């Protein structure tokens, strides 16, 4: 990938973020939950981990719905 290709991808990415702010917020939430899980995985009980995984599944389903074809236009 050349520098020019990288710039085009960055411009497209910026455009996508502006075009679908809901999707951007959901992805940010998903990433934050992943980071939290990574930080706490060694200290959480099984129940805490299961709850976190369930919450992450919910956020991921919302991301998929927001990114689907019906949301793009």
- The pTM of the full predicted model, rounded to 2 decimals, is 0.65
In a domain, 47, yes or no: yes
In a domain, 8, yes or no: no
In a domain, 53, yes or no: yes
Domain that holds residue 41: 21-72
The band of 71, judged by pLDDT with boundaries at 50, 70 and 90, is low
pLDDT by residue (tens digit) across 15-34?
A: 655 688 999 999 999 999 99
pLDDT by residue (tens digit) across 33-54?
A: 999 999 999 999 999 999 999 9
**Contacts of residue 37, Cβ cutoff 8 Å, sequence gap at least 6:** 49, 52, 53, 56
> How many domains are contained in the chain?
1
What is the Cα–Cα distance from 50 to 44, expressed in whole angstroms? 9
In a domain, 10, yes or no: no
In a domain, 63, yes or no: yes
In a domain, 64, yes or no: yes
């Amino acid at each position: 990938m050349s520098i020019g290709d990288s710039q085009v991808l960055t411009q497209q990415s910026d455009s996508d973020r502006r075009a679908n702010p809901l999707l951007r917020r959901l992805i940010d939430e998903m990433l934050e939950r992943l980071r939290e899980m990574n930080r706490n995985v060694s200290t959480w009980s099984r129940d805490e981990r299961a709850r976190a995984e369930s919450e992450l599944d919910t956020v991921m389903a919302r991301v998929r719905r927001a990114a689907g074809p019906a949301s793009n236009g």
